[in-house]
Amino acid sequence: MRVEYNEKENIFQLDTKTTSYLIGIADHKYIGHIYYGKKLADRRGIGALLRTEEPPYVPSQNLREKCSFMDTFPMEYPAWGVGDYRESCLMVRTEEGHRACEPVYAGYRIFDGKPQLDGLPSTFPTEENEAKTLEIVCTDACIGLKVLLRYSVFEDSDAVIRSVTLINEGDKTLYIEKVLSACLDMDNEDFELLTLSGSWARERHMTSCPVTCGKHGVSSVRGESSHQEHPFMALTAPGTTQDYGAVYAMHFVYSGNFMAMAEAGQFDSVRMVMGIHPEGFEWVLMPGASFVAPEVVCVYSDEGLGKMSRTFHDLYREHLIRSPYLHKNRPILINNWEATYFDFNTEKLVDIAREAKKAGIEMLVMDDGWFGHRNSDDSSLGDWIVNEEKLPGGLKALVDRVKSEGLMFGLWMEPEMISPDSKLYRAHPDWALHIPGRTGTLSRCQYVLDLSRPEVVDYVYERIATILRSADIDYVKWDMNRQLSDVGSLGFPSGQQGEIFHRYVLGVYALQERLISEFPRLLLENCSGGGARFDPGMLYYSPQIWCSDDTDAIERLAIQEGTALLYPLCCMGAHVSDCPNHTVGRMTPFATRGHVALAGTFGYELDITKISESDREQIKEQTLMYHKYHPLVREGDYYRIASWQHNHLYDCWEVVSSNRREVLLTYVQVLAQANFKSRKLRLKGLDPNGLYRLEENGALYSGQVLMSAGFLVKRSFGDFVSHLFHFEQVEA
Ligand code: GLA
């Protein structure tokens, strides 16, 4: 890790373990992107890449063509309105109504550590000397705006973390119409664009397309990161695979509206930007006030997507997730949603708990329907009072009974919502986000609470905390089952309505921060109609997030492959459910469902009192399997071996312990093939000089053979058949 500035060259250099990021100051004013790539021990000659010695030259030499300069220079942080016509990061309106802005270089600071971002999730060093930060100061004297561009690197990571702070140093109000958090302006090398997209129950499928001329992007204006698109974008060199090729990736540590855009321009350059979506956004920056934009994690890999994934995984495990559960086995849970939906009572839950305990399950989670008069999804959100018709004696009585069966207890809540049919709505209709005079748009028969208002945040917090204080609750599944619409708040004047989307997200963060501060041992799992708010922002508060409402083992292969592209397996909520699967109707073997869920947090989502005896017996084996392998799955390095999305036949991934002594390989034969022998797979990340023993039959393989020559997986009969292979290094 190194961050330095060379005054003679006017170059900043940030080094991570294997990468370098170089920024140059041209004409003492313009902050330009020089290089991001493999680590440079010797940078002599690199300054020329800013191309300031080529026409149109810098403005001090050729003022008459300043516009050409602005429109070609590789800007580190482009602003709108003074001649750079490519996608900008910054647009600020003045009281006079003008929008041009030109922040120019004014100085820098380099310091140990990494400042936390006020009210926002952010990556952090455990010790100050684990990180270094470069802060480049820019100013636009004309409008009194100061811009701080921050870049942080960690001793043990290959990521560069960027954030932006705007400060109004003038005496007039400024209106921020757009403030993105990062930009990467490079020559286009026939890049392809990799993104994650999908839908409800089909989240985070990997998609790629060529970066042809013009703008290509993903975004959300749904108030959350969304099922549909993900705040991630990568440019990949042609032919990039899991193991080869250059990858430039950005991932946004934020849970609300976002945009990520790659623009291929007229001079064969490509500019990639990421930040809060400007649509519906405007922030009023009073004199003296500042605005902190959320951070973007940038990762460069010269060894394909696999190294990129492992860089994100390690960063998030070491410097983002804060839970005491991070390095612990999570209790194996059984959730009653797919078992009972809204139709349950204390006796039913205790029956499930009793049977679950026999099979080695460790926690019962009571899902939706335990409060108000909620027997379907059309009422009671906001009325967090236990329904004593279902749970006589209240929550504590139920929790105590479940605990006496020997299980921990977890609870579902949806704190951000309000049903029109609720006591809360009747008392405070103005607490729902709405626009006066307009009938609000219902979704799942509910409105969204106005969490931009501190009094609503306080009220909601007290409701959640009262419940958690009332009984011994170990886990909360925090759900959010609709996206935002009619975003108006009675808490703010007309001039500040553009702040509500962002203030809402800040309200969610404030709530979860308070929750984990008061209940530090609580295991929090975020969820949003499945995986619509699976993002690094939420990971800062909860060590795991429900991946998708689709629990079908085969559909999950693509969802979990896309999710694991960025997130460590230990944070992917994954459960075994009953068949035919409730979402897609598919029948899959119980063992396959277990192997696929093992790649995540692991748990069950079925009525254990109703399934077959043989399935119940398999749960006993699977809970043992979880305890045996989860530490490796949780802490190990992830390698993607094959993707069903590409080959249409089989899926395969591997986890290797950091000392390379233990390996777990999961293989799923999705479709059976006729007239076919065994399949050869090459393992990755092993010790080439090591000798590995396969647990199931004691066979010995050299690391070299497994990686270079391959390992044979026998053909199975039938579709959807899976196999788990566990290897351990033995002394030769
Ligand atoms: C969402 C969640 C489900 C379940 C239901 C309850 O859809 O993703 O797991 O909790 O809400 O209403």
Q: Given a cut of 90, is residue 312 above it in pLDDT?
A: yes
367 lines ligand 1 (CB under 6 A): yes
Supply 187's token pair. Answer: 């020559």
Which residues lie closer than 8 Å to 396 by C-beta, 6 or more apart?
A: 470, 471
**Which stretch of DSSP H or E encloses residue 51?**
none
Alpha helices per DSSP H over 519-668: 536-539, 553-564, 590-598, 613-635, 644-647
Nearest to 241 by CA among 646, 657, 665, 679: 646
Are 477 and 337 contacting, i.e. CB atoms less than 8 angstroms apart? no
Average pLDDT over residues 53-82: 98
Average pLDDT over residues 257-268: 97
SS3 615: helix
Per-residue pLDDT at 732? 81
**Which stretch of DSSP H or E encloses residue 706?**
none
Residues 455-479: b if buried by 16+ CB within 10 A, e if exposed = ebbeebbebbeebbeebebbbbbbb
Q: Which of 71, 84, 549, 550 is catalytic?
A: 549
Query: In 10 A of CB 602, how many CB atoms?
Result: 26
Burial class of 677 by CB neighbour count within 10 A (0 to 12, 13 to 18, 19+): exposed
The residue behind tokens 């030259």 is 57
Ligand 1 binding pocket mutation candidate from 202, 227, 338, 368 (most atoms within 8 A of CB): 368
Beta strand pairing call for 19-26 and 30-38: antiparallel
The Cα 505–Cα 416 span in angstroms is 11
**Average model confidence (pLDDT) for the chain?**
98
Nearest to 27 by CA among 71, 66, 74, 60: 60
The Cα 52–Cα 56 span in angstroms is 8
| pTM for this predicted structure | 0.98
Q: How big is the chain by its Cα radius of gyration, in Å? A: 27
Q: Which atom of ligand 1 is nearest to the CA of 527?
A: 8
Are 637 and 374 contacting, i.e. CB atoms less than 8 angstroms apart? no
The Cα 89–Cα 253 span in angstroms is 17
577-625: per-residue pLDDT in tens? 999 999 999 999 999 999 999 999 999 999 999 999 999 999 999 999 9
Nearest CA to ligand 1 atom 6: 368
Strand ranges (DSSP E) for 223-344?
Answer: 232-236, 247-252, 258-264, 269-276, 283-285, 290-301, 333-335
Supply 628's token pair. Answer: 């045996």
368 lines ligand 1 (CB under 6 A): yes
Give φ, ψ of 333 to 5 degrees.
Answer: -105, 160
Under DSSP, the state recorded for 725 is E
Which residues lie closer than 8 Å to 505 by C-beta, 6 or more apart?
A: 223, 254, 255, 256, 537
Average pLDDT over residues 1-7: 97
Q: Which atom of ligand 1 is nearest to the CA of 605?
A: 9
Supply 385's token pair. Answer: 């009072």
405 lines ligand 1 (CB under 6 A): no
194-240: per-residue pLDDT in tens? 999 999 999 999 999 999 999 999 999 999 999 999 999 999 999 99
Per-residue pLDDT at 74? 98
Q: Distance from the CA of 141 to the center of ligand 1, in angstroms?
A: 51
* pLDDT band, residue 513 (cuts 50/70/90): very high
669 lines ligand 1 (CB under 6 A): no
Active site residue 479: yes
Q: Distance from the CA of 481 to the center of ligand 1, in angstroms?
A: 7
Nearest to 450 by CA among 523, 503, 400, 404: 503
179-192: per-residue pLDDT in tens? 999 999 999 999 99
Ligand 1 binding pocket mutation candidate from 336, 476, 527, 528 (most atoms within 8 A of CB): 527
Nearest CA to ligand 1 atom 4: 337
Which residues lie closer than 8 Å to 42 by C-beta, 6 or more apart?
A: none
Q: To the nearest whole percent, how much of the chain has pLDDT over 90?
A: 99
Distance between first and last Cα of the chain: 37
Q: How many CA atoms lie within 13 A of 423 on its CB side?
A: 7
Active site residue 719: no
Per-residue pLDDT at 251? 99
Q: Distance from the CA of 340 to the center of ligand 1, in angstroms?
A: 12
Supply 199's token pair. Answer: 């839908």
Per-residue pLDDT at 143? 98
Are 414 and 381 contacting, i.e. CB atoms less than 8 angstroms apart? yes
The residue behind tokens 């705040």 is 231
Q: Which of 15, 367, 479, 687 is catalytic?
A: 479
Q: Distance from the CA of 606 to the center of ligand 1, in angstroms?
A: 14
Per-residue pLDDT at 625? 98
**Which stretch of DSSP H or E encloses residue 731?**
none
203 lines ligand 1 (CB under 6 A): no
101-159: per-residue pLDDT in tens? 999 999 999 999 999 999 999 999 999 999 999 999 999 999 999 999 999 999 999 99
The Cα 132–Cα 129 span in angstroms is 7
Per-residue pLDDT at 41? 96
Ligand 1 binding pocket mutation candidate from 479, 538, 545, 548 (most atoms within 8 A of CB): 479
Average pLDDT over residues 363-376: 98
Average pLDDT over residues 3-15: 97
The Cα 258–Cα 293 span in angstroms is 11
Q: Given a cut of 90, is residue 676 above it in pLDDT?
A: no
Average pLDDT over residues 297-302: 98
